[in-house]
């Protein structure tokens, strides 16, 4: 998508496939909104409980020795 300025204001150029998927037509009024940012702080106790649960559920495919989940690495993907 691309934002350009026109004499009437700003114009957002939207790809045809997005327009079709949303069922839009030329002249339709649309509203662009910024979604709220939600952050969830997980306590160390909850994190340990989650890892214990994963270990219990992975009887057939145990986690490798020394496995440590890296949240930053996972979020970077």
Give the closest residue to 52 by CA, choosing from 42, 41, 63. Answer: 63
- DSSP for 13-46, please give it: E--HHHHHHHT--TT------PPPP---PPPHHH
DSSP code at position 10: E
**Tens digit of each residue's pLDDT (9 = 90 or more) over 12-55:** 899 999 999 999 999 999 998 998 888 777 788 888 888 888 87
pTM over 0.75: no
Q: How many CB atoms lie within 10 A of CB 19?
A: 14
């Amino acid at each position: 998508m691309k934002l350009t300025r026109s004499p009437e204001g700003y114009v957002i150029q939207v790809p045809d496939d997005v327009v079709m998927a949303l069922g839009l037509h030329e002249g339709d009024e649309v509203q662009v909104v910024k979604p709220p940012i939600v952050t969830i702080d997980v306590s160390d106790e909850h994190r340990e409980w989650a890892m214990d649960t994963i270990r219990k559920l992975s009887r057939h495919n145990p986690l490798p020795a020394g496995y440590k989940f890296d949240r930053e690495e996972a979020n970077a993907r």
